[in-house]
Amino acid sequence: MKRMLSGIKPTGQLHLGNYIGALRHFVEYQDEYEMFAFIANLHCITVPQDPKELQTNLRDCVALYLACGLDPAKANIFLQTDVRAHAQLGYIMCCHTYMGELNRMTQFKDKMAHGEKNLSGGLYTYPSLMAADILLYDPDYVPVGEDQKQHVELTRDLAIRFNNRYGDLFKVPEPLVAKVGARIMSLSDPSKKMSKSDETNKGCIYLLDDLKKARKKVMSAVTDNCANVHFDPENQPGISNLMQILSSLSDERPMGEIEAEFAGKGYGEFKRSVADAVCAKLEEIQTRYNEVLSSGEIDRALNSGAERANLIADEKLAKVQKALGMEIIR
């Protein structure tokens, strides 16, 4: 069985972009692949966190993994810090990543360009840790949204570098970026990615948003005055974004079909259909989320996920340390 691995960093509440760009694919692939889906809590602390809030977000993230349909009987769900090998291989990866490579990573570059002060060393080197997250498990594929593709490409470069230097250590993984929904944009500013750090809070739909609130966000989404539901991300980014959301939530309905359904109809009617699809999905997720929270499923899932992950990760880390000559061979 081929293997897949991915993770989400719960620095805040999970949002529709996380679901459409990543989480729904984890669920889709869990039957066909051996799936490793983890909660990237080491990555969270690259920016300051309120410990109490982080606690809630971590639990919610696992609960949402389950609520969105990840099944611990099929997928290995675990917390990054429950598998210590991540931090250790992360350090080894960091020692093999060139500063020039880290300087090219757009997330750090963007923060620097915005003049953000006191950025941490962890934030700068986090692509090396992400490479370790992946390479510990030799996955064939890494399903991610578009913004993470660059990090998976760096991971590939690092895997090749290690293999050339130390012998065959890692499988070189492929990023898996879906054609539709890999970059969901903010509803209030479709030139920006939908993200947790949305200051206005109008552009981002959280998976745990109150349904009325979520509907309102869709209905007041920024569009254009073309009066034509047409898929053209460059000239009609707002409408195209809503089309991507609708398509992703309705079995990847082709854009042409959506255009035909709304031909000659107003944006109001189109937005109502998008809002209906979003609210139906949120309601389904939230109902299951409430069940999960009051059951013992979270702890059971994390325990069994970490057990399997540790087995694989420890073996890989030992192999790497040996290949690097770091162990005293007895």
List the one residue from 6, 30, 241, 248 that touches ligand TYM (CB under 6 A): 6
196 catalytic per annotation:
yes
**Stretch of 95-103, 160-168, 176-184, 215-223 lying at the interface with ligand TYM (CB under 6 A):** 176-184
Closer of 131 and 229 to ligand TYM (Cβ): 131
Residue 35 binds ligand TYM, judged by CB under 6 A: no
Q: What's the rounded Cα separation, in Å, for the pair 168 and 284?
A: 45
List the one residue from 156, 183, 217, 316 that touches ligand TYM (CB under 6 A): 183
Q: Cβ of residue 216: shortest distance to ligand TYM, in angstroms?
A: 19
Q: What's the rounded Cα separation, in Å, for the pair 236 and 44?
A: 34
Closer of 49 and 228 to ligand TYM (Cβ): 49
322 catalytic per annotation:
no
CB distance 238 to 222 below 8 Å: yes
52 catalytic per annotation:
no
Residue 130 binds ligand TYM, judged by CB under 6 A: yes
Strands 141-143 and 75-79, sheet pairing: unpaired
Placement of tokens 């500063």 in the chain? 99
Residue 316 binds ligand TYM, judged by CB under 6 A: no
Strands 34-39 and 75-79, sheet pairing: parallel
List the one residue from 4, 13, 18, 68 that touches ligand TYM (CB under 6 A): 18
List the one residue from 89, 154, 176, 182 that touches ligand TYM (CB under 6 A): 182
**Stretch of 163-171, 178-186, 222-230, 276-284 lying at the interface with ligand TYM (CB under 6 A):** 178-186
CB hemisphere CA count around 244 (13 angstroms): 25
Q: Cβ of residue 113: shortest distance to ligand TYM, in angstroms?
A: 18
Length of the chain: 330
| DSSP secondary structure code for residue 147 in this structure | G
Distances (CA, A) of 112 to 44, 104, 105: 18, 12, 11
Residue 148 binds ligand TYM, judged by CB under 6 A: yes
Residue 271 binds ligand TYM, judged by CB under 6 A: no
Residue 94 binds ligand TYM, judged by CB under 6 A: no
Binding to ligand TYM (CB under 6 A) within 217-246 occurs at none
Q: Cβ of residue 193: shortest distance to ligand TYM, in angstroms?
A: 4
For residue 137, which of 318, 329, 309, 323 has the smallest C-alpha distance?
Answer: 309
Q: What's the rounded Cα separation, in Å, for the pair 8 and 69?
A: 15
Q: From the candidates 74, 149, 171, 196, which is the catalytic residue?
A: 196
Give the residue at shortest CB distance from ligand TYM. Answer: 21
List the one residue from 70, 79, 135, 144 that touches ligand TYM (CB under 6 A): 144
Q: Mutual orientation of helices 121-135 and 106-113 as an angle, nearest 10°?
A: 170
Q: From the candidates 9, 193, 271, 316, which is the catalytic residue?
A: 193
CB distance 80 to 96 below 8 Å: no
Q: What's the rounded Cα separation, in Å, for the pair 246 and 97?
A: 40
Q: What's the rounded Cα separation, in Å, for the pair 305 and 293?
A: 18
Q: Cβ of residue 318: shortest distance to ligand TYM, in angstroms?
A: 21
The 3-8 sheet, strands edge to edge: 75-79, 34-39, 3-8, 141-143, 174-176
Residues carrying an active site annotation: 111, 193, 196
Site residues, ligand TYM (CB under 6 A): 6-9, 17-18, 20-22, 40, 43, 130, 133-134, 142, 144-145, 147-148, 182-184, 193-195
